[in-house]
Chains A and B, each alone.
Chain A
Amino acid sequence: MAGEGTGMSIGMSFDVAAVRGQFPILSEIIDGLPVHYLDNGASAQTPLAVIDAVRRYETTGRANVLRGVHRLAERATESYENARAQVASFLGVPTMEIVFTGGCTAAINLVAYSYGALLKPGDRILLSELEHHSNIVPWQLLRSRSGIELDMLPVTTDGRIDLSALPSLLTPKTKLVSLAHVSNVTGALLDVRTVVEAAKSVGAKVMLDGAQRAPHGPLDLPSLGIDFYAFAGHKAYGPNGIGALWGRPELMDAMPPFMGGGSMIGRVTLAETTWAPSPRRFEAGTPPIGPAIGLGAACAWMQALDWAAAHEHEMDLVQRLMDGLQKIDGTQLFGPAGLQNRYPVVSFMLDGVHPHDVAQTLDSFGVAVRAGHHCAQPLMERFDLDGTTRVSMAPYNDNSDIDVLLAGVAHAAKTLR
């Protein structure tokens, strides 16, 4: 697990041009402007390795999986299961512990529904105020279905989950702690060890929303001591419509299905049905086969990258960005001040200019960023923010992306207030 948010500079060289060359969209000229793509936290771009893998399936191996006996079906099943192995290898877990889902949101909803079905009224789930709506709303739905209670960890002024509140919010009734591994607004990395130690002391399970962490290199989930991990394909250089869930097998096998249909059964009679073990139990119907194969290829692509160098490169970009923003009158950063324990997501505000107007101005420079509440309205309410402008980086970003963005922000500061 290279560069787990350490911000350490070890002087490695990183060939960003070689990485960029693998992403066809980055050499597009759109309306006369080069693409400066800094909205990776919303959706990352996809490399040729992924495009080729999906194309290979669609053109040489397209069929349904786990059903047919013909050779295209065999080929499709092999590719699909190979993708599961690639995702598992990326997360450092056994292959058959990976469930393909429709995305990260679908993975969290799966746990909220199926693990949630094991909970009783009065049981508690601990979240935080900086969660993405996809790690809040599924639990609110569970609360209204089953009478569980939700608790919220507060957030520090530098945009981190305030773990000093853990002892007071964890109770013997707490059955699950579900938190963002990396904040989609501030880039802050969660101190997983502290969370796991505290949660285990009251017997609670731990789930991480890995949507913003997975795009930045392989993980070793067993070393984290957690119970569930979810991430999205499209943010991790893979296709849309696919995500993955890892769960401890003893938990997954105790959980009832999320959806019923083909593939997830043991035996069906008109009187009753028995369930297949996980992961099949949670993959009802024909899965998104091409996207799963693409996600497998994306995981293999990420595993082949030198992440120690890539992380250092990403942190150099963060530093360049933060230094540049601070030179523009009226900018305020929202998030950790330094490079320690963070990932390359940077939010800022420009006094007197709404984030959407900053983003629109940046678009006119060919720079893609996200502006607004980032599906984290409780966090915006907590800090009384209209929203932020968010710059989210990937290994293929380079200095010119940051420099053009800074020129755009300076232009917005000059013309819109």
Chain B
Amino acid sequence: MSDQIYQERIVALAKAKTGAGKLENPTRTARRDNPLCGDRVIVDVRLDGEGRIAEIGHQVRGCLLCQASASALSAVAVGRDAAGIAELRHDAERALGREPGETHEPFDAFAPVAAHKSRQECVLLPLEALKDALA
């Protein structure tokens, strides 16, 4: 039995639920569904005058990986604009082994998912939703 995918850091991120919940009067909202597995993420953001995230909230109806990713994203999203979020996406892609290079906290926690291609979209779904919200 080897379930390295559910390492402590991933489980801890999911349980932390950072940013979980709906924002009152968000500037932007976006929803992303994964039609293959049925996971669903809704991201609310409040932006400052320069397009940077001042506050973020997410509602995840999905697996532990999706919840952990939304939680990780919320922990580092504030103060970033669309370009800054795109950089986090690259960090996640690097953790998943889809791009070369070093990855950083918090998305480095998802390195165990590199060996599980069928679950990588679960990690990326919150990033996709946030990208849509900032588009």
Interface residues of A (CB under 8 A from B): 31, 33, 353-357, 360-361, 364-365, 371-373, 377, 380, 386-387, 411, 415-416
Contacts and interface: CB of A to CB of B under 8 A. Distances in A.
Nearest to A415: B6
Contacts of B1: 33, 364-365, 411
B38 A361 contact: no
Interface of B: 1-3, 5-6, 11, 36-39, 61-65, 116, 119, 122
Contacts of B38: 372-373, 377, 380, 386-387
Given A354-B64, A364-B3, A387 B11 contact: no
A35 to B, nearest CB: 15
* Main DSSP-derived SS at the B contact region: loop
Contact of B3 (A360, A373, A387): A360
A403 to B, nearest CB: 14
Nearest to A361: B3
A371 B119 CA distance: 12
B11 A415 contact: yes
A326 to B, nearest CB: 23
**The 6 nearest A-B residue pairs measured at CB:** A364-B3, A354-B63, A356-B63, A373-B38, A357-B64, A372-B37
Nearest to A387: B38
Contact of A360 (B6, B36, B61): B6
Given A356-B37, A360-B5, A360-B6, A386 B11 contact: no
Contacts of B63: 354-357, 360
A416 B6 contact: yes
Contacts of B64: 353-354, 356-357, 416
A372 B2 CA distance: 22
A144 to B, nearest CB: 19
Nearest to B5: A360
A415 B1 CA distance: 14
A360 B5 CA distance: 8
16 contacts: A31-B2, A355-B63, A356-B37, A356-B65, A360-B6, A364-B1, A364-B3, A364-B5, A371-B37, A373-B37, A377-B38, A386-B61, A386-B62, A387-B38, A416-B11, A416-B64
A386 B38 CA distance: 7
Contacts of A357: 6, 63-65
Which of A353, A365, A387: most chain B CB closer than 10 A?
A387
Contacts, number: 53
Contacts of B62: 354, 356, 386
A347 to B, nearest CB: 14
A357 B122 CA distance: 11
B75 to A, nearest CB: 21
B6 A387 contact: no
Contacts of B119: 356, 360
A53 B91 CA distance: 50
Which of B5, B36, B116: most chain A CB closer than 10 A?
B5
Contacts of B116: 360
A99 to B, nearest CB: 30
B57 to A, nearest CB: 20
Nearest to A362: B3
A386 B40 CA distance: 9
Contacts of A371: 37
Contacts of A372: 36-38
Given A356-B37, A377-B38, A386-B38, 17 more contacts: A354-B62, A355-B63, A356-B62, A356-B119, A357-B63, A357-B65, A360-B3, A360-B5, A360-B119, A361-B6, A364-B5, A372-B37, A373-B37, A411-B3, A415-B6, A416-B6, A416-B64
A362 B38 CA distance: 19
Contacts of B36: 372
Nearest to A31: B2
Contacts of B39: 356
Nearest to B2: A364
Contacts of A386: 38, 61-62
B94 to A, nearest CB: 22
A356 B122 contact: yes
Nearest to B119: A360
A1 to B, nearest CB: 35
Contacts of A365: 1
A371 B2 CA distance: 19
A365 to B, nearest CB: 5
A31 B2 CA distance: 10
A387 B5 contact: no
A305 B53 CA distance: 64
Contacts of B37: 356, 371-373, 387
Contacts of A354: 62-64
Which of A353, A360, A371: most chain B CB closer than 10 A?
A360
Nearest to B67: A354
A371 B64 CA distance: 13
Contacts of B2: 31, 364
Contacts of A33: 1
